[in-house]
Chain A
Amino acid sequence: MQEILRMEHITKRFGDMYANRDINFEVRRGEVHTLLGENGAGKSTLMNVLFGLYQPTEGSIYLNGNKVKIDSPAQAVKLGIGMVHQHFMLVEAMTVFENIILGDRNTKGVFIDRDARRKEILELSQQYGLDVEMDKPITEIAVGAQQRVEILKALYKGAELLVLDEPTAALTDIEVEGLFQIIKKLTAEGKSVIFISHKMREVLHISDRITILRAGESVCTLNREETTGEDLANLMIGRELVPSQYKKIEDAGDAVIKLTDVDYCKESKHNGLNGVSLSVGRGEIVGIAGVDGNGQSQLAQVVTGVITPDSGEVDMKGSRVAKFTPNGFIIEKVSHIPEDRNKMGLIGSMSVMDNIVLKTTELPEFSSGNGLYLKKKAIKEYAEQMQKKYDIRCASIEQETRNLSGGNQQKVILARELESDPDLLVAVHPTRGLDIGAARFVHDTMIAARDNGCGVLLISADFDEILEVSDRIIVMFEGEIMGEYSGKNPPINEISLAMAGK
């Protein structure tokens, strides 16, 4: 088969971090080539380089054998590359037809020759079986149909090579089947498809070849026939057990929180919980492993009182929780390091000092008369103490937190959440986006909290992090618990298969 795209020695560096390192990747005409990897493995970066959103630090791209420089998405479209993003880029108030012709550069003059355009689009849609209702506004059609509009849009603009970024994430099973039919038709007509996914079953079903990325590097490229799901999972997670530098605890204390058969929007595979039962004891770290978007956010929000489960029971230190409010859980000494520190954790327009005492201004140390008069001097002294203790690097404690680096923002949250001496700490992606030093600090702090008798529920998509600090590992997939493993000598292969839903 003839080669359509070759990316040679692609390296993309952001500061000191390599998002892609010396990746070679090649696509042939009429094939489905899958990019497989965990979150943060570099799939999206590589595709953004291809689509002209990023410039590679090193390396070159060849299309049909000619070296090309792609410096904008418009250029990529011109070269015949079409991209369907995970989150669709459609104008919701416009009709399907208007969305497809939007930004069409073939239109000459001021007016659009609607009839001619419509005819072209209809021909295309029949050719590939992309059945869409042309005059319905986007808001009125289903997610699967919206995706067909995106594909049609790309084809209409002359795409020979289609990039589908996690195309099945939002689809129902039937819609996925329909998408696969379309992909088969596309390749039969000589188009090529780059399929990005981490769902093993789908990858094995649709791909001709599979390239596995791990930590920004390309591991290998395999033909579908010569591989199995197990191989792929191992290659994707791909690591030998590195002994953790932390001592693992095997006998935890009484359960701080216990969930029994908790359901929350259980029909939703990616944003729900389905019969979840687990417990976190005093003085242990329970790590929830799993690919992002398998119910972890919802789990975190249930155990911090932000959302109320549809059914099932939650026991806090032995007594049943009747009412789910964040404040009720805070009173029960639950601390939360939320997944999105800017949106959920910090008041960005307020100072470091204000954020540190956010929950505690009513304490007698910080105000007299139950909050009637803030003791600003005491607050300031305390905040300065915390700044030293947690090594928060800021120009002054009166600096707005939104101007801090991610690591320092996280330290502000740690200072607030851990100084209250919690019984349960819920940490969601606590080191996401942090450099190694800051991440190490966060881990040390969590271990110290554990050794103080605090139960820690760590939710992370970073498998290394889970292995490093967890005393017990629980794997979640599509809202369900797939298995529970000891944090001491964890069976990596088994865990990685469970993460892929097997």
Chain B
Amino acid sequence: MKNTSKIVNVMVPLVSVLLAFIIGCIIIAALGANPITALQALWKGAFGSVRNFGTTLSRATPLIFTGLCACFAYRCGVFNLGGEGQFIMGAVVCTVIGTQFNIEGLPAIILCLVAGTIAGGIWAMIPGVLKVYRGQNEMIISIMLNYVATLFMGVLFTDWMRDGSVPQTVAIPDASRLTRLFGLRATTAFVIAVVVGLAVYYFLFFTSKGFQLRAVGYNMTAAEFNGFAVKKYFLASFLVSGMIAGLGGSADILGTQFFLINGYASGYGFDGVSMALIGQLHPLATMLVAIFFAALRVGSTTMQAATGVPTSVSDIIQALVIVFTVAGLAMVKLPEFKALLNRIFSRKEVA
């Protein structure tokens, strides 16, 4: 029984991806292109060469951070939808320190990353504290704070830190940028993301505190009756998930973005939530899903150039994966589905 539920958990996203691609192919065919060549172009664009693969990893990096941010909070049963705001606050603090403090090189990098991490954590504590001590809904407050962060960033690049006539901030000096991996687009930011993902995985599944945090997430009342300080876990999970996003924001600025500009980081927060949900709140799976989504995005440009199929088809496929996964996860919880599974498995045993 345990094994079947594990298999189902893995199968749902895989089947969803398959279904999304089938529908994507139908759309491509309806547009008058050959689905096979289009998908080949998509694959080539994302993984076809080392260079392209580097680009994919680079695009995946911020998504991994916001995905882990959502994953960590949801594991504890708190719905932090403010990954984007926390990511931006990390990026903002990083940009300020990196461009205004007259420091360069490794000390600047370390300071920027640490400060960005703290900024993200503080930004996440606002909904956390309001939830725990005032009973406010953390989802609404964290979403609203996304707008506050976005607009605050707007003040910086349009006014306070504007770079001459262009509405963007000055760029991080070359000496303070993260090194590229083997000369590719991907930087050490990707390495940091993977390390964070492994750390989250280790914490959740191999430490006592992580075990207790998951228990709080599954059943808050029972956790309380069994002596866990539920409020502390809530606050800690907001803090840590915000710190992950903040670290992501600063690493992204130092690695690929270098300056703040209109529209920066838009959509990262909810992308992260989707990655975490499709990855079934498993940190390692979340990272893989983020890479998969980045590949769809990177590859779609090549697909458009090679076959004329617009990049929006890739957006449709991404959206369908999300829809099918969410629907699929709801479906497998239905008693009818469980009964069906039981029947299939018991029949096999008889045979």
Contacts and interface: CB of A to CB of B under 8 A. Distances in A.
A234 B71 CA distance: 59
B345 interface: no
Interface stretch (A144-152, A240-248, A261-269, A356-364): A356-364
B219 interface: yes
Contact of B206 (A349, A350, A374): A374
B208 interface: yes
Contact of B225 (A336, A350, A398): A336
Interface string B214-240: 110011011111111100000000000
Nearest to B6: A398
A281 B2 CA distance: 43
Given A359-B227, A373-B206, A374-B207, A403 B1 contact: yes
Nearest to A416: B226
A347 B218 contact: yes
Contacts of A374: 206-208, 211
Nearest to B212: A361
A395 B1 contact: yes
Interface string A394-421: 0110111001000000000000000000
Contacts of A366: 208
B209 interface: yes
A348 interface: yes
B270 to A, nearest CB: 25
A396 B4 CA distance: 13
A362 B228 CA distance: 12
A227 interface: no
Given A343-B222, A347-B215, A399 B208 contact: no
Contacts of A359: 226-227
Nearest to B211: A361
Given A347-B223, A350-B214, A399-B1, A361 B208 contact: yes
A399 B5 CA distance: 10
A345 B222 contact: yes
Contacts of A370: 208
Contact of A372 (B207, B218, B224, B225): B207
A338 interface: yes
A262 to B, nearest CB: 20
Q: Which of A326, A351, A373, A376 has the most CB of B within 10 A?
A: A326
Contacts of B209: 371
A325 B232 CA distance: 13
A251 to B, nearest CB: 32
Contact of A400 (B2, B207, B211): B2
A373 B211 CA distance: 11
Nearest to A326: B227
Contacts of A371: 207-209
A346 interface: yes
A330 interface: yes
Interface residues of B, number: 22
A350 B208 contact: no
A354 interface: yes
B211 to A, nearest CB: 5
Contact of A306 (B2, B5, B224): B224
Contacts of B224: 306, 326
B208 to A, nearest CB: 3
A358 B226 contact: yes
A354 B2 contact: no
Given A358-B215, A395-B2, A345 B225 contact: yes
A354 B206 CA distance: 12
B213 to A, nearest CB: 11
Contacts of B226: 326, 330, 358-359
A344 interface: yes
Given A327-B228, A358-B226, A359-B227, A373 B221 contact: no
A341 to B, nearest CB: 9
A366 B209 CA distance: 13
A218 interface: no
B185 to A, nearest CB: 36
A60 interface: no
A347 B222 CA distance: 7
B219 A346 contact: yes
Interface string A268-288: 000000000000000000000
Nearest to A327: B227
Contacts of A362: 208
Interface in B241-257: none
A415 B49 CA distance: 57
Contacts of B223: 347
A367 interface: yes
Contacts of A211: none
Interface in B193-216: 206-209, 211-212, 214-215
Nearest to A331: B227
Contacts of B227: 325-327, 329-330, 359
Contact of B2 (A304, A327, A396): A396
Contacts of A329: 227
B229 A354 contact: no
A349 B333 CA distance: 13
A304 B1 contact: no
A351 B207 CA distance: 16
Interface string B49-63: 000000000000000
Contacts of A330: 226-227
Given A326-B225, A400-B2, A403-B1, A348 B207 contact: no
Nearest to A336: B225
A336 B222 CA distance: 11
A37 B219 CA distance: 35
Given A327-B227, A396-B2, A344 B207 contact: no
Interface string A357-393: 0110110001100111110100000000000000000
A427 to B, nearest CB: 13
Contacts of A346: 219, 222
Contacts of A349: 218-219
A394 to B, nearest CB: 10
B64 to A, nearest CB: 25
B341 to A, nearest CB: 13
Contacts of B222: 343-347
A294 B234 CA distance: 33
Given A373-B206, A400-B2, A348 B225 contact: no
Q: Which of B209, B219, B225 has the most CB of A within 10 A?
A: B225
Contact of B211 (A325, A336, A354): A354
A327 B223 CA distance: 10
Which 10 residue pairs are nearest across A and B when measured between Cβ atoms? Answer: A371-B208, A327-B227, A361-B208, A330-B227, A326-B227, A349-B218, A344-B225, A347-B219, A347-B218, A362-B208
7 contacts: A330-B226, A345-B222, A350-B218, A361-B208, A372-B208, A399-B2, A400-B2
Given A306-B225, A347-B215, A347-B218, 5 more contacts: A327-B229, A348-B219, A367-B207, A373-B206, A374-B207
